[in-house]
Amino acid sequence: MGITRTNRYRLKDRKRFLPGLLLNEGFFHEVIKPIIDSHFPNLHYDAALTGHCSDALGFDTYISMDHYWGPRAIIFLSKKDHPKIAENLKSIVRQNLPESYKGFPTNWNFYLSDNGHRPEFSPDGQIDPNLSIETVGQFVHEELGVEYPQSLSSKDWLTFSEQELLHLTTGKVFHNTLHELEKMRASFRYYPHEIWLFKMRSLWKSIAEEQAFVGRCHDVKDELGERLIATRITNKLMKLCFYLEKSFYPYSKWFGTGFSKLDCAKELTPIFDEILSANSYKKREQSLCGAYIKMVKKHNGLKITEPLPLEIIDYYQRGYKGYQTNQIVDALTKSISPEFWNELGSVDLEKKDNRVFEIEPLLDDSNHVRNSKILRRIIMR
């Protein structure tokens, strides 16, 4: 079926797919920028494809084409210019857009029954583009729930979800004459040093609490429980891999894909696969121990704590093999300054009320890992 105004637009097509970052870089430079240059020749602005959605993260496939995928852009204006020209700018761009770019409609339907958005040819020729015009401060506030620019406390950083930090720092900047977007992205590029250490500490602490449970489940012939706990530990080890390489991890849909792009993925993926697919407790335990040793080697290579021993222990002489992960927790605790602990007001993190600061790395539900505002209400209570 051909593309016409009278047919419903059939967007998903393997042969026509191209990554959204590539599509929209061309859309900006070939279509939007010439319009802005013609009508606002002296305007300083930034332009990008960033924020949420698979295309901005660089994970889109042809499947993405039926939902929030197509010609779009975000224009960032200064706080001074935004109230003066944002509405007029969007109106002028709308009036001058072609009906399509590379065969994809520039008009979007924002009123689908499933609450989704996608490009569709307009039956009356009127174009409603997916063009967001905002300030960098508005963008940060929408993602993280904080004012920007302002100094951030340690508690602020602990409220930010990894996914929403990805929204701020991935994608691609197409135009940079305002110089505000790149400056913001640099400020959120990664965690401050002690927040980074604290997050790794939180994951190792959680592993320390559960690693012996794999053996305990095996003892009572609870193979399902054994597999579930081993899977939980693997998830945390994978998150630690992102931390060790100072890379934010995406939420569950793209977690494995994001992991595959890490430098350590080639070495560790086979071991993690063995943990998850092992058909016996002994094989699973052996693979977990192999993973612990490789992770500690990588930890030692960063020289962020005192060197840790590369040895497997017998947990309480119960016959459960594992790593003395409390050693990592203690070493990371010592590497974090007293000033950090004082800022949290948490001299004793073992108190239930204080453990709330460790919550973000332990969350996996996609509705929570993508919502810094929920985390903020919990941590800043």
* Domain-embedded: residue 69: yes
For the chain, report the end-to-end CA distance as a whole number of angstroms.
56
Is the per-residue pLDDT at 362 higher than 60?
yes
Is the per-residue pLDDT at 3 higher than 60?
no
Is the per-residue pLDDT at 15 higher than 70?
yes
Looking at the structure, tell me whether residues 217 and 250 fall in a common domain: yes
Q: What is the pLDDT of residue 98?
A: 96
* Domain-embedded: residue 242: yes
Looking at the structure, tell me whether residues 206 and 323 fall in a common domain: yes
Looking at the structure, tell me whether residues 199 and 231 fall in a common domain: yes
* Domain-embedded: residue 341: no
Q: What is the pLDDT of residue 111?
A: 83
Average pLDDT over the chain, rounded to an integer? 90
Q: How far apart are CA 74 and CA 52, in angstroms?
A: 12
* Domain-embedded: residue 364: no
Looking at the structure, tell me whether residues 135 and 28 fall in a common domain: yes
Residues 6+ positions from 303 with CB-CB distance below 8 Å: none
Q: Is 128 or 15 the better-scoring residue by pLDDT?
A: 128
Work out the number of other CB atoms within 10 angstroms of the CB of residue 82.
19
Looking at the structure, tell me whether residues 172 and 199 fall in a common domain: no
Looking at the structure, tell me whether residues 58 and 167 fall in a common domain: yes
Looking at the structure, tell me whether residues 178 and 207 fall in a common domain: no
Looking at the structure, tell me whether residues 172 and 215 fall in a common domain: no
- Residue 369 pLDDT grade (very low, low, confident, very high; cuts 50, 70, 90): low
Q: What is the pLDDT of residue 348?
A: 58
Question: For residue 14, what are its two tokens?
Answer: 């393997």
Q: What is the pLDDT of residue 211?
A: 94
DSSP 361: G
Work out the number of other CB atoms within 10 angstroms of the CB of residue 130.
19
Looking at the structure, tell me whether residues 79 and 170 fall in a common domain: yes
Domain, as residue range, for 121: 14-187
* Domain-embedded: residue 4: no
* Domain-embedded: residue 247: yes
pTM, entire model: 0.90
Q: What is the pLDDT of residue 275?
A: 97
Q: How many domains would you assign to the chain?
A: 2
Q: Which of 143, 169, 187 is the last residue of a domain?
A: 187
Q: Which of 133, 157, 187 is the last residue of a domain?
A: 187
* Domain-embedded: residue 351: no
Q: What is the pLDDT of residue 2?
A: 39
Looking at the structure, tell me whether residues 37 and 164 fall in a common domain: yes
Is the per-residue pLDDT at 131 higher than 70?
yes
Q: What is the pLDDT of residue 112?
A: 77
Q: What is the pLDDT of residue 352?
A: 47
* Domain-embedded: residue 28: yes
Looking at the structure, tell me whether residues 55 and 175 fall in a common domain: yes
- Residue 10 pLDDT grade (very low, low, confident, very high; cuts 50, 70, 90): low
- The alpha carbon of 73 is separated from its chain's Cα centroid by a whole number of angstroms, namely 20
- In percent, the amount of the chain with pLDDT more than 90 equals 75
Q: What is the mean pLDDT of residues 274-285?
A: 96
Whose structure tokens read 């063995």? 274
pLDDT digits (tens, 9 = 90+) for 219-269: 999 999 999 999 999 999 999 999 999 999 999 999 999 999 999 999 999
Whose structure tokens read 């065969």? 103
Is the per-residue pLDDT at 354 higher than 80?
no
Q: How far apart are CA 52 and CA 171, in angstroms?
A: 9
Q: What is the mean pLDDT of residues 147-170?
A: 93
Q: Which of 162, 187, 212 is the last residue of a domain?
A: 187
Question: For residue 334, what are its two tokens?
Answer: 């010592």
Cis preceding linkage at 149, omega within 30: yes
pLDDT digits (tens, 9 = 90+) for 18-50: 999 999 999 999 999 999 999 999 999 999 999
Looking at the structure, tell me whether residues 148 and 199 fall in a common domain: no
pLDDT digits (tens, 9 = 90+) for 333-342: 999 998 998 8
Q: What is the pLDDT of residue 346?
A: 61
Q: How far apart are CA 67 and CA 45, in angstroms?
A: 28
Closest by CA to 152, choosing from 195, 181, 114, 118, is 195
**Rounded (10°) angle between helices 325-335 and 281-302:** 20
Q: What is the pLDDT of residue 302?
A: 97
DSSP 28: I
Q: What is the pLDDT of residue 315?
A: 86
